[in-house]
Amino acid sequence: MCASLLRALGDRAPDMSAEQLEQRLADWDLVDIFGAVVMIRGAEMHVGAVPEVRKRWFGRRAVAVMADVLRKHGRIETLVQKDHAPGHAFAWRLGFEQVGESGAAIRYELRKLRHAKPSRTA
């Protein structure tokens, strides 16, 4: 999974080896969703997707993963590099709201999932 994540990160981690990435992500949960890798640590979530699966990986499984994080933590937090326009567009489409800045990144938070269907109650 680290090799596909390194490919997905592309120029954002040009000098990182698979071993270094594995060490850096040792305390993260990694979920492979059709070639995209979702990285989760507590309420923090990030996605790395190789070009051939971008705009095609996000579906029911991704919504289920996000819903699980929201259930456990009440929110999802993520950072998007200021110069990464597709990442900002993706965050906005999902309903993330900008809550701050951290160095070269914009910090986003999501408290309600737009794409989830209401759960059925008996």
CA torsion 6-99-58-66 (nearest 10°) is 100
Query: For the chain, what is the domain count?
Result: 1
With respect to residue 117, please indicate whether it lies within any of the assigned structural domains: no
What average pLDDT is seen over the chain? 83
In a domain, 63, yes or no: yes
pLDDT in tens, 36-63: 888 899 999 998 877 777 777 788 888 8
Distance CA 50, CA 30 (A): 15
CB distance 46 to 69 below 8 Å? no
Q: Is residue 122 part of a domain?
A: no
How does pLDDT run across 89-119, given as a tens digit for each residue?
A: 989 989 999 999 989 999 999 999 876 554 4
pLDDT tops 90 at residue 22: no
Residue type, 3: A
CA distance 95 to 92: 5
CATH number of the structural domain spanning residue 67: 3.40.630.30
Farthest-apart Cα atoms in the chain, separation: 53
Residue 115 forms part of a structural domain: no
Range of the domain at 100: 2-110
